[in-house]
Amino acid sequence: MVELARRFVVRERRPRRTRTGVSAPVLAGLAAACIFLVIGCLSSSIFAQQTVAGLAQGVIFSSLALSLVLIYRATEVINFAQGEMAMATTYTAYQLTLWGISYWLAFFLTLGIAFVFGVVVQVAVIRPVQHSVIAVVIVTVGLFLLIDGLVTWRFGADLKFMQAPFGNAVYHVGDVTFARQDLGTLIVSIVSVLLLWALFRFTKLGLAMRAAALRPAAAALVGVRVNWMLAIGWGLAAVLGAVAGLMTEPTQFLQPTMMQAVLLYAFAAAVLGGLESPAGAVIGGLALGVFLNLVGQYVGFATSELRLPIAFAVLLGVLLLKPTGIFGHKKVQRV
Amino acid sequence: MAPLLELHDVTARYGQVHALHGVSLAVDEGQIVAVLGANGAGKTTTLRAVSGTVRRDGEIRFAGKALGRHGPEAVARLGIAHVPEGRGTFAELTVWENLRLGGYSRRASLKDDFVRVLEYFPWLEERRSQQAGTLSGGEQQMLALARAFMQRPRLLLLDEPSLGLAPLLVTEVFRIVKELNETTGLTVLVVEQNAHIALQVAQTAYVLEVGRVALSGPSAELREHESVRRSYLGY
């Protein structure tokens, strides 16, 4: 009977591992990479420039990767529509600015709209099928197509332009030139990630969300409204996606396909980081951005057409060496 | 006075398999009530029916209110704490976070509750930032109890607290439950395989057999009952 009870009622999933532990070799590798970057930046101005530009690109991958991880941890699926949701919210910001709202007001309004959008998506189309992982995956693929179609229908497939949020100024430090755009992107994305981290780490809501994602059955028994927590998780993921979309816009401009490549990079970054590790997703994104930029600069044959293949070659290499990703870990539980 | 918890002709099933065929029982406020029975008799399901973690029919009243369609979240918010069988803890979270989750549905400050819980489980203090999953089975059971106390429940549903624990720990768990019952008037419905200790602690007991109440009465009487002695006490 107890066995039956487990099979039918308890939504407790497979036993999860204990805490995110980072193994010593991984830490050493990361430290070595950092030292390499610092030395490179000090000895070559082009290297420094490419590194900063790479970080700015990477932090966008990080944001979107983090939103994938958020949903993966709670729902155990990859939301294939994450990039398109980000694209749609960026168009929302565009529409707001067309109505005469200033860029930054539109920015924050869009984050609010994105949150509601994420919640509504979870409640309306994910919740009804959430008992089946494969059904959820198919629904997210359907959402991808739906959003893509709707945005193209409403705005057309041609490029649109928004006001540059940070202007086109550049800073000179010694003989190194930094784009204000890159620094702004870095700051905005890092602040959003930190705010999100603080929410999860320090607030009661964050604790309840973690509990609901880790052990829904036990969370319900202490009075946590599990379904709402999942919906809020989708909302927060959509907010992060919106940040990624808005920060992508100045370099890619608005078009319905703007986030598709970014989603692939973000996916690579998330898997690189271990898929369940938020810190891993952030570091994975940054590493990928810097690596691709440096390879593009210093490896002759690596033209921009090869960026995506190179990214996935790296991903494959890392997974062969460490199948759980750099921040992943085997599942351990004391019995 | 009407009982705090009342089950009338409650049935429950998992898919096609019926686990309860009409269970009726009553728990008075301030009592400890034990549910005994063999494996598969429906003990765990009885608790699940109350906390809303199984599909159930029939009448369940708590403090005069019909629990009818309440899901587990709503039941928890009414003041029923369910410590499920085995591991009810959040293994990935710290000890302290587990306790904070216990007080989740209460708005007031949890300071007093932390103090109160630490009186019973002083060792929790030094383990506060340790991950719950790294505690021993007994410690996790204690943590699950402590978390339930953080809910300040009117009714505690306790499922097989002795499962997998060393005999000394079993005694300790029941001692604490008894003490809370005596000092704070906490009402407890406990499911237990270990009939010896359950009948010592509880005032009233029910014996379930294949999804029905076979026998019930004051613990002292049941202890003397011929079939209970043979089947559950073993003498």
Assembly ipTM: 0.87
Selecting from A2, A223, A333 the residue whose C-beta is nearest the C-beta of B104 gives: A223
The per-residue pLDDT for A110 is 96
CB-CB neighbors (< 8 A) of A335 in chain B: 137
CA A97, A99, A103: angle at the middle one, nearest 5?
20
C-beta atoms of A1 and B39 within 8 A: yes
| Residues of chain A above pLDDT 70, percent | 91
Pick the CATH number of B5-233 from 3.40.50.300, 3.40.50.150, 3.10.110.10, 3.40.109.10: 3.40.50.300
C-beta atoms of B90 and A214 within 8 A: yes
The per-residue pLDDT for A5 is 46
C-beta atoms of B134 and A210 within 8 A: no
User: Using one digit for the tens of pLDDT, what is the confidence trace for A49-85?
Assistant: 889 889 999 999 999 999 999 999 888 889 999 999 9
Three-state secondary structure along B160-180? CCCCCCCHHHHHHHHHHHHHH
pLDDT-derived band of residue A282, with 50, 70 and 90 as boundaries?
Answer: very high
The CA distance from B58 to B18, in Å, is 14
C-beta atoms of A10 and B53 within 8 A: yes
Scan residues 21-60 of B and list those with Cβ closer than 8 Å to A: 39-42, 44-45, 48, 51, 53-54
Q: Which of B208, B207, B202, B234 has its CA nearest to residue B220?
A: B202
What are the residue boundaries of the structural domains of chain B, listed by start? 5-233
**DSSP state letter for A15:** P
Q: Which of B226, B211, B216 has its CA nearest to residue B11?
A: B211
User: Using one digit for the tens of pLDDT, what is the confidence trace for A17-48?
Assistant: 444 456 778 888 888 888 888 888 888 888 88
Higher-pLDDT residue of B78, A324: B78
Report whether A286 contacts A55 (CB < 8 A): yes
The per-residue pLDDT for A335 is 44
Best of B45, B92, B208 to disrupt the A interface (most A CBs within 10 Å) is: B92
- β-sheet bridge partners, residue B142: none
Is residue A10 pLDDT above 80, yes or no? no
Residue in chain A closest to B39 (alpha carbons) equals A1
Selecting from A18, A221, A334 the residue whose C-beta is nearest the C-beta of B72 gives: A221
Beta-carbon contacts of residue B33 (< 8 Å; ≥ 6 apart): B25, B27, B188, B189, B190, B202, B203, B204, B205, B206
Residue in chain B closest to A211 (alpha carbons) equals B90
